[in-house]
Amino acid sequence: MTLSSVGFGGCDTYPDPVDYLVVFGTAGRQPPTPLATITAATDGSFSAVVTIPAETTPGEGYLNFSGSRWDECDDTSSCVGYSATILITGPAAPAG
């Protein structure tokens, strides 16, 4: 599965590229699994290929992204969480 995101759109930048941790989970069916660490450019954009674990059962799943400087904040800041919901329909077809 290819994951990608556009940058911040000119509203901000990182001083250096930053690593995001991608965690895959299913709602109560299996424990969360770290999938990858991906590097985002200074504008926040990224593109990476990840593999959903083969033993994942069909149903709703989610991807959580952490590593942004906006993940955690105090009471005076705005916090942002990054996630995506996906639907697992069954195992991938064999290559070939």
One digit per residue, pLDDT tens: the chain, 96 residues?
Answer: 898 888 777 677 777 888 989 999 997 888 899 999 999 888 888 899 999 988 888 999 999 888 876 666 666 656 666 788 999 987 766 666
Q: Nearest Cα to 69, choosing from 8, 25, 6?
A: 8
pLDDT value for 70: 64
Residue range 2-88 forms a domain whose CATH class is: mainly beta
Q: How confident is the model at residue 42, as a pLDDT?
A: 86
Q: Which of 35, 1, 2, 36 is nearest to 19 (CA)?
A: 36
Q: How far is CA 85 from CA 14, 22, 42, 64, in A?
A: 26, 13, 25, 9
Question: Residue 48: CB partners within 8 Å, gap ≥ 6?
Answer: 2, 3, 4, 22, 36, 38
**Which pTM does this prediction carry?**
0.76
